[in-house]
C-alpha cells in the first residue's frame, strides 16, 4: 500500500510539474512509468482530473497535451475498453476551446494507430473531425496530424470508411480545401490517390475532388534555401500528376485544363501539361479523348512547329506517341477504327506536304510528328508509312542535290528504324516490304554519292535494312558487301570508311556466312596483293584491310577465318627488311586487340582466340629473341618497345574473360615457358637455342624483354586461378626488376611482380616475399647505379598494396615521402604519386581482376596529404617543388566532392604550386583548380586576386598545354559571384587579347571563349 501510495504521489508530482509548464521532460518520465507498469493510463487520467476540469483552457490544454504525449508512446499497451473511453473523451473535447484542439488531435492520432480499436470508432472519429474542426484554420503541424489520422484509418479500417460512401470523400474535400503547405500537400495528394486507387465512392463529388487538387496545377514552388524538409518541386509535381492521371473520371475536367496550360507562355506549365497528358494516356480510351482530340492535336502541332525549346519538342512528340498508342489500344476492343483513322488522317494532312520541301524549316518538325505517331503501335506505323514511304522515295528521285537527298534519306531512315522496332512482318501487311526494290535502290545510290554526309546516312540505313530479317535478298546482300568493301578500303574520307567497317561489324552476326564467304576473302586478297602502287597508297590500303578484318570479326565463325589471316600477315611483316615494318606490326596488333575485345562475351570465340593467338605471338617473339637468329636488324621489330607495348593489350584482352578452368589450362603452359624454357606448346617450337629470360648474361637481354608478354598474361588471369611455381616466379621477377640495365625490362618485371603481389592471398608466403622485396630495395635506394630501378619497383609494389589496403602500404608510402627530399630521385618520386593514384592501363585495374578496394584514393589522401604538407613546410628550397608536385598529383586524381570539403586547408598550397617553374606541377594544379572554380565558387572567390594574377601569367607559358589549361581556368573564373569579378574585368579582357594571336589554334579557341565570357560579365540577363 505504501509503495502504491508513493507511486501515486510521484505521478501526481510529475503531472503538476508538467501542467504548470515547468518541466516538459516529465511527459517522457510518465510514459516510461506506464510502459514499466508503475501506473496505468487510467491512473494518469485520474491524476489529470483537476486540470481536465479546470476553467482555464490553457490548463486543460496542458493536461490533454500530457495525456496525448503519453498515448503516442504507449498506444500499443491499451485495452479495447480503454481505447473506447479515450476516443469518446477526445471526441467530446473537439468542441473545446481552440487552444485545446492541437493536443486533442495528437491524442486521436495515437488512438488511430491502436490495433484494438472497436468497429465503428474510426468512422465516429472522422465524422467528429469533419463536423467540429475547421482544419484549414489550424497550424501546419496540426493539419498534418489530421492527414495522418485519415491515412492511418485508410490503411487499417478501409471497409469501415467505405461504409460512409461519398460522405467520406466530401469530408476530406473540406479538410484539404485551401491547403498551402508542401509538406501537407504531399500527404493530401497521397490520400486522394488512395481514394481513387482503392475505389472509394466519389459520388457526386468527382468535380469537387478534381477542383480541390487541380488548383495546384501546374505546381509553382521554389524550396526555401537550407530547407530541412528537403521537399523539391519535382516531388510535388509527380505526386499531383499521380492523382490527376489516376482515373478516367477526371478526363472531362483535366483535358481542357491541359489544353489551356499548353497555350500559356510559361515553359514549365507546358512541360508539366505534356507530361501529365502522356501519363493520362496510359489509362484513357477513345471515349475520354474523342471530344478533345482536335484541340490536343492543334496544340501539339503548334508547339513542335514553333517552339525553340528542345525539351518541349521532345515532350510533345512523347505525348503524341502516347495519344496514338492510346487510340490504338482502344481499337482492339471497338468495332470502329474511325477515331484512330481520323486522328492519323489529320496528322498526315497537316504534315505530309511539308516532306516535299526538304529545304524548308518545317520539314523536320513534320517528319518528327509523323514518326512519333508511327512509333505508337504497329497499326499506326502501317497507316502512316503506307502514305509516307512512297512519297519519300519519290522525293528522293525528284531532288538531285546531295543536301536535299540527305534530308529525305534521314527521314526515311527514321521510318526504317520504326520497322526495326516492330520486327519481321509479312509482305502483305508491311508497307516497307512492298517497296523493297525502290528502298534498296535509294540506299545503294546514296552509298555511291560523292557527298560524305549522304554516304554516312546511307550506311546507317543499310545497317537498319540488314537488321530486318528477310528484307534483303541474297543478291542484295552480296551488293551490300561489295559496297561496304569499296567504302571501307577505297573511300578517301576516313569517316565513311570507319562507318562502313562499323556497319560490317553490326551486320556480320546476322549474316556470318555471307561475310565469311564474300568479304573476308576479298579483304585477304587485298591485304596480300602486290600491285604496283605508291608506297603511301599501298600502306594506307593495308592499314584499312587490317582494320576491316578486325571490324567484321563479330561472330565466332568469322573470327576463325580472320585471325589466321592477321597472324599470317604479322609473320610476313615482321620478317620484312623495310624500316616501316615496326609500324606494320603495331597495326596488326591493334587489329588483333580489337578482335580480342569483340570475342570477350562469347566463350567459344574467346577460347579460340586465346589458344590460337597467344601461343603464336609468344612463338614469334621467342624466335625474334634468339641470339643465333639470322634476322637482320629490322627483323627484330618484335623486340621494339612500341611493338611489345602493342602486344600486351592483345594478350591481356585474350586472357581476362577466360573461364577459370581454361585459364588454368593455359597458365600451365605459359609459366613453364618462362621459368623452364618449355617451348613444347608453341606452334613453331624448333629454336636454335634454349629460352631463358631469367638467365644471366648479356646475350639474353633480348629474351628478358619478353617478360612484358608474361606480365600481360599472368596479370590478367582471374584471381582464383593458381599460378604454378608462383614463389619461384616472384623471386625471379624481383631479381630482374632490380638488376636489369634495360629500363623497359626492369619496369615490366616490376609491374608483373606488383600485379602478382596484388592478387596473392594474404598469409606468411606473401609476407615473406614482400620482406624479401623490401630487403632488395632498401640498399639499392640508398646508393648505387640502380637507384632508378629500385624506385620503380618501390612505386609499383606500393601501388599494388595501396589498392588492396595491405598494412605494409603505409610503410612503403613513408619511404616514398622520404625520397621526395632526395635531390636525385625526388622529381621522379613526385611523378610517381600520379602513378599511385591514376588508373593503370595494363596491370592493377579491375578489368584484369586486380584487388582494388573502393575509395582507396580517399584513404590515401587522408593518410598521406598531411604528411606531404608537413614535408613541404620542412623541406629545403631546392626540393619544395617535389612536395608540391606530389600533392598536386594526389589532389588531381581525388574525387571532386572530397576535394571540395578539404579545399580551405589546401588552397594556399595549390596557389603556391602555380608559381612553381615545373610545367608538370603547373598543368596538374590547373587541372585540379578548374572543377573547383565551378563547384566551390564561394571559397575560391576569397582568393580571386591571386587566382586572376596567376592564371593570366600562365597564359604566356611556353608550354601549349599550360596555356590552354590557364585559359580554361580564366574562363571558369566567370562562375564566381559577379560582384567579386567586376573590379578585374578590364584587366582580364586586356590580358586575354594577347593569346588571341597565339600561334596555336587550340590556344586561340580557348582565348576566344574565355574573353567572350568576361565581356558578358555583369550584362543584363546573366
* pLDDT of 560: 93
Burial group, residue 1004, by CB count within 10 angstroms (0-12, 13-18, 19+)? middle
- Comparing 305 with 686, the larger pLDDT belongs to 305
* pLDDT of 18: 80
204-213 — which CB contacts under 8 Å span 24+ positions?
204/166, 205/166, 205/169, 205/170, 205/173, 206/249, 206/250, 207/253, 208/170, 208/173, 209/169, 209/173, 210/250, 210/253, 210/254, 211/253, 212/173, 212/176, 212/177, 213/176, 213/189, 213/240, 213/243, 213/244
Reply yes or no on whether the pLDDT at 630 is more than 50: no
Residues 6+ apart with CB under 8 A from 717: 655, 658, 663, 667, 723, 849
Mean local confidence (pLDDT), 368-396: 91
Instruction: Render pLDDT for 540-589 as a digit per residue (tens, 0 to 9).
Output: 888 999 999 999 999 999 999 999 999 999 988 877 545 567 888 999 99
Reply yes or no on whether the pLDDT at 885 is more than 90: no
* pLDDT of 635: 46
* pLDDT of 580: 65
* pLDDT of 210: 94
Question: Whole-angstrom Cα distance, residue 788 to residue 783?
Answer: 10
* pLDDT of 424: 56
Q: Are 354 and 363 in contact (CB under 8 A)?
A: yes
DSSP annotation of 630 reads -
5: part of which helix (H) or strand (E)?
helix 2-19
Mean local confidence (pLDDT), 489-495: 87
Instruction: Render pLDDT for 153-193 as a digit per residue (tens, 0 to 9).
Output: 999 999 989 998 999 999 999 999 988 899 999 999 999 99
Instruction: Render pLDDT for 34-73 as a digit per residue (tens, 0 to 9).
Output: 788 787 888 888 878 777 777 888 888 888 888 888 888 8
CA torsion sign, 963 to 969 to 974 to 976? negative
All three cell numbers of 943: 582568393
Reply yes or no on whether the pLDDT at 223 is more than 90: no
Question: Whole-angstrom Cα distance, residue 367 to residue 408?
Answer: 10
Instruction: Render pLDDT for 817-839 as a digit per residue (tens, 0 to 9).
Output: 999 988 888 889 999 999 999 99
Question: Whole-angstrom Cα distance, residue 725 to residue 727?
Answer: 6
Q: Are 913 and 884 in contact (CB under 8 A)?
A: yes
Q: Specify the pTM.
A: 0.80
- Comparing 460-474, 825-839, 948-962, the range with the smallest average pLDDT is 460-474
* pLDDT of 900: 79
Reply yes or no on whether the pLDDT at 297 is more than 80: yes
Task: Please report the DSSP string for 129-156 in residue order.
Answer: HHHH--GGGS-HHHHHHHHHHHHHHHHH
Mean local confidence (pLDDT), 111-115: 90
Instruction: Render pLDDT for 411-445 as a digit per residue (tens, 0 to 9).
Output: 999 988 888 777 655 544 567 777 888 999 999 99
* pLDDT of 7: 59
* pLDDT of 261: 92
Residue 334 banded pLDDT, cuts 50, 70, 90: low
For the chain, give the mean pLDDT. 87
Residue 755 banded pLDDT, cuts 50, 70, 90: very high
SS3 content of the chain, % helix, strand, coil (to 5): 75, 0, 25
Residue 486 banded pLDDT, cuts 50, 70, 90: very high
Residue 634 banded pLDDT, cuts 50, 70, 90: very low
Question: Whole-angstrom Cα distance, residue 620 to residue 165?
Answer: 87
Q: Are 800 and 757 in contact (CB under 8 A)?
A: yes
Reply yes or no on whether the pLDDT at 76 is more than 80: yes
Reply yes or no on whether the pLDDT at 814 is more than 80: yes
Task: Please report the DSSP string for 954-990 in residue order.
Answer: HTT-SSHHHHHHHHHHHHHGGGS-HHHHGGGHHHHHH
All three cell numbers of 702: 633480348
Using a pLDDT cut of 70, give the percent of the chain over it: 95
Residue 791 banded pLDDT, cuts 50, 70, 90: very high
Instruction: Render pLDDT for 268-280 as a digit per residue (tens, 0 to 9).
Output: 899 999 999 999 9
* pLDDT of 129: 92
- Comparing 547 with 536, the larger pLDDT belongs to 547
Residues 6+ apart with CB under 8 A from 657: 600, 601, 606
Angle (nearest 5°) at CA 504 between 610 and 511: 85
Mean local confidence (pLDDT), 363-374: 93
- Buried b / exposed e across 595-619, counting CB within 10 Å, b at 16+? bbbbbeebeebbbbbbbbbbbbbbb
Using a pLDDT cut of 90, give the percent of the chain over it: 49
Reply yes or no on whether the pLDDT at 971 is more than 80: yes
Provide the 10 A C-beta neighbour count for residue 495.
13
* pLDDT of 1002: 92
Q: Which residue has the cell 485495452?
A: 79
In this structure, the chain runs to a length of 1022
Reply yes or no on whether the pLDDT at 596 is more than 90: yes
Q: Which residue has the cell 608453341?
A: 682
* pLDDT of 964: 94
Amino acid at each position: 500500500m505504501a509503495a502504491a501510495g508513493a507511486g501515486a504521489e510521484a505521478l501526481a508530482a510529475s503531472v503538476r510539474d508538467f501542467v504548470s509548464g515547468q518541466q516538459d521532460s516529465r511527459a517522457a518520465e510518465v510514459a516510461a512509468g506506464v510502459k514499466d507498469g508503475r501506473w496505468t493510463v487510467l491512473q494518469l487520467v485520474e491524476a489529470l482530473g483537476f486540470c481536465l476540469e479546470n476553467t482555464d483552457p490553457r490548463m486543460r490544454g496542458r493536461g490533454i497535451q500530457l495525456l496525448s504525449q503519453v498515448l503516442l508512446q504507449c498506444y500499443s499497451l491499451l485495452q479495447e475498453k480503454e481505447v473506447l473511453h479515450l476516443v469518446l473523451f477526445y471526441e467530446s473535447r473537439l468542441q473545446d476551446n481552440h487552444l485545446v484542439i492541437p493536443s486533442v488531435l495528437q491524442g486521436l492520432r495515437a488512438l488511430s494507430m491502436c490495433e484494438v480499436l472497436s468497429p465503428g470508432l474510426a468512422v465516429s472519429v472522422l465524422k467528429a473531425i469533419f463536423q467540429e474542426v475547421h482544419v484549414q484554420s489550424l497550424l501546419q503541424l496540426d493539419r498534418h496530424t489530421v492527414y495522418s489520422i485519415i491515412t492511418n484509418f485508410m490503411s487499417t479500417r478501409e471497409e469501415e470508411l467505405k461504409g460512409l460512401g461519398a460522405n467520406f470523400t466530401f469530408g476530406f474535400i473540406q479538410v484539404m480545401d485551401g491547403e498551402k503547405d508542401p509538406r501537407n500537400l504531399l500527404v493530401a495528394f497521397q490520400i486522394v490517390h488512395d481514394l481513387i486507387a482503392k475505389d472509394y465512392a466519389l459520388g457526386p463529388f468527382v468535380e469537387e475532388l478534381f477542383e480541390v487538387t487541380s488548383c495546384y496545377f501546374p505546381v509553382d514552388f521554389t524550396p526555401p534555401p537550407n530547407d530541412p524538409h528537403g521537399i523539391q518541386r519535382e516531388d510535388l509535381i509527380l505526386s499531383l500528376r499521380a492523382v490527376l492521371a489516376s482515373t478516367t473520371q477526371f478526363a472531362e475536367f483535366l483535358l481542357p485544363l491541359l489544353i489551356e496550360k499548353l497555350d500559356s507562355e510559361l515553359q514549365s506549365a507546358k512541360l508539366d501539361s505534356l507530361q501529365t497528358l502522356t501519363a493520362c494516356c496510359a489509362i484513357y480510351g477513345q471515349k475520354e479523348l474523342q471530344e478533345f482530340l482536335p484541340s490536343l492535336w492543334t496544340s501539339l502541332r503548334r508547339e513542335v512547329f514553333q517552339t525553340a525549346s528542345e525539351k518541349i519538342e521532345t515532350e510533345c512528340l512523347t505525348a503524341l506517341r502516347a495519344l496514338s498508342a492510346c487510340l490504338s489500344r482502344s481499337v482492339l476492343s471497338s468495332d470502329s477504327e474511325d477515331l484512330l483513322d481520323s486522328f492519323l488522317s489529320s496528322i498526315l494532312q497537316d504534315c505530309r506536304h511539308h516532306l516535299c520541301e526538304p529545304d524548308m524549316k518545317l520539314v523536320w518538325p513534320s517528319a518528327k510528328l509523323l514518326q512519333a505517331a508511327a512509333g505508337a503501335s504497329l497499326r499506326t506505323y502501317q497507316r502512316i508509312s503506307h502514305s509516307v514511304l512512297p512519297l519519300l522515295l519519290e522525293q528522293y528521285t525528284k531532288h538531285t542535290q546531295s543536301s536535299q537527298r540527305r534530308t529525305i534519306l534521314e527521314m526515311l531512315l527514321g521510318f526504317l528504324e520504326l520497322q526495326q522496332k516492330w520486327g519481321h512482318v509479312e509482305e502483305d501487311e508491311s508497307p516497307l516490304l512492298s517497296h523493297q526494290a525502290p528502298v534498296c535502290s535509294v540506299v545503294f545510290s546514296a552509298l555511291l554519292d560523292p557527298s560524305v554526309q549522304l554516304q554516312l546516312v546511307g550506311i546507317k540505313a543499310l545497317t537498319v535494312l540488314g537488321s530486318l530479317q528477310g528484307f534483303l535478298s541474297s543478291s542484295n546482300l552480296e551488293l551490300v558487301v561489295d559496297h561496304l568493301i569499296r567504302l571501307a578500303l577505297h573511300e578517301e574520307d576516313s569517316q565513311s570508311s570507319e562507318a562502313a567497317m562499323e556497319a560490317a561489324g553490326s551486320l556480320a552476326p546476322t549474316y556470318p556466312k555471307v561475310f565469311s564467304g564474300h568479304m573476308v576473302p576479298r579483304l585477304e586478297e587485298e591485304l596480300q596483293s602486290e600491285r604496283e602502287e605508291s608506297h603511301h597508297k599501298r600502306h594506307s590500303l593495308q592499314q584499312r584491310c587490317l582494320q576491316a578484318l578486325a571490324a567484321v570479326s563479330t561472330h565466332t565463325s568469322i573470327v576463325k577465318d580472320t585471325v589466321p589471316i592477321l597472324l599470317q600477315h604479322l609473320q610476313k611483316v615482321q620478317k620484312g627488311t623495310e624500316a616501316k615494318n615496326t609500324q606494320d606490326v603495331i597495326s596488326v596488333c591493334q587489329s588483333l586487340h580489337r578482335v580480342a575485345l569483340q570475342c570477350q562475351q562469347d566463350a567459344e570465340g574467346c577460347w579460340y582466340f586465346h589458344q590460337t593467338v597467344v601461343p603464336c605471338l609468344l612463338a614469334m617473339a621467342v624466335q625474334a629473341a634468339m641470339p643465333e637468329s639470322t634476322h637482320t636488324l629490322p627483323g627484330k621489330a618484335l623486340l621494339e618497345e612500341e611493338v611489345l607495348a602493342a602486344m600486351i593489350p592483345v594478350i591481356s584482352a585474350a586472357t581476362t574473360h577466360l573461364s577459370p578452368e581454361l585459364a588454368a589450362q593455359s597458365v600451365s603452359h605459359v609459366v613453364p615457358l618462362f621459368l623452364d624454357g618449355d617451348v613444347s606448346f608453341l606452334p613453331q617450337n624448333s629454336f636454335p637455342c634454349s629460352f631463358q629470360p631469367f638467365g644471366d648474361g648479356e646475350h639474353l637481354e633480348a629474351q628478358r624483354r619478353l617478360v612484358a608478354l608474361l606480365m600481360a598474361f599472368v596479370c590478367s588471369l582471374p584471381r582464383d586461378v593458381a599460378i604454378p611455381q608462383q614463389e619461384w616466379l616472384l623471386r625471379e621477377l624481383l631479381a630482374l626488376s632490380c638488376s636489369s640495365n634495360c629500363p623497359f625490362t626492369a619496369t615490366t618485371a616490376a609491374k608483373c611482380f606488383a600485379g602478382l603481389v596484388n592478387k596473392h592471398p594474404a598469409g606468411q608466403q606473401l609476407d615473406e616475399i614482400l620482406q624479401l622485396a623490401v630487403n632488395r630495395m632498401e640498399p639499392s635506394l640508398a646508393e648505387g647505379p640502380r637507384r632508378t630501378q629500385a624506385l620503380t619497383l618501390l612505386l609499383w609494389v606500393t601501388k599494388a598494396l595501396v589498392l588492396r589496403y595491405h598494412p605494409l602500404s603505409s610503410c612503403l608510402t613513408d619511404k616514398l615521402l622520404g625520397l621526395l627530399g632526395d635531390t636525385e630521385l625526388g622529381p621522379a618520386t613526385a611523378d610517381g604519386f600520379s602513378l599511385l593514384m591514376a588508373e593503370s592501363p595494363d596491370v592493377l585495374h579491375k578489368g584484369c581482376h586486380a584487388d582494388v578496394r573502393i575509395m582507396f584514393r580517399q584513404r590515401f589522401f587522408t593518410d598521406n596529404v598531411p604528411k606531404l604538407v608537413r614535408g613541404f613546410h620542412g623541406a629545403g628550397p631546392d626540393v619544395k617543388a617535389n612536395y608540391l608536385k606530389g600533392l598536386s598529383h594526389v589532389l588531381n586524381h581525388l574525387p571532386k566532392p572530397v576535394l571540395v570539403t578539404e579545399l580551405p586547408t589546401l588552397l594556399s598550397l595549390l596557389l603556391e604550386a602555380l608559381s612553381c617553374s615545373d610545367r608538370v606541377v603547373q598543368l596538374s594544379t590547373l587541372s585540379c583548380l578548374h572543377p573547383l572554380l565551378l563547384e566551390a565558387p564561394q571559397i575560391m572567390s576569397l582568393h580571386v586576386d591571386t587566382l586572376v594574377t596567376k592564371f593570366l601569367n600562365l597564359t604566356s607559358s611556353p608550354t601549349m598545354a599550360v596555356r590552354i589549361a590557364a585559359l580554361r581556368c580564366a574562363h571558369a573564373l566567370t562562375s564566381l559571384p559577379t560582384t567579386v569579378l567586376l573590379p578585374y574585368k578590364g584587366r582580364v579582357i586586356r590580358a586575354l587579347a594577347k593569346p588571341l594571336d597565339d600561334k596555336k589554334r587550340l590556344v586561340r579557341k580557348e582565348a576566344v571563349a574565355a574573353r567572350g565570357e568576361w565581356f558578358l560579365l555583369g550584362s543584363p540577363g546573366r
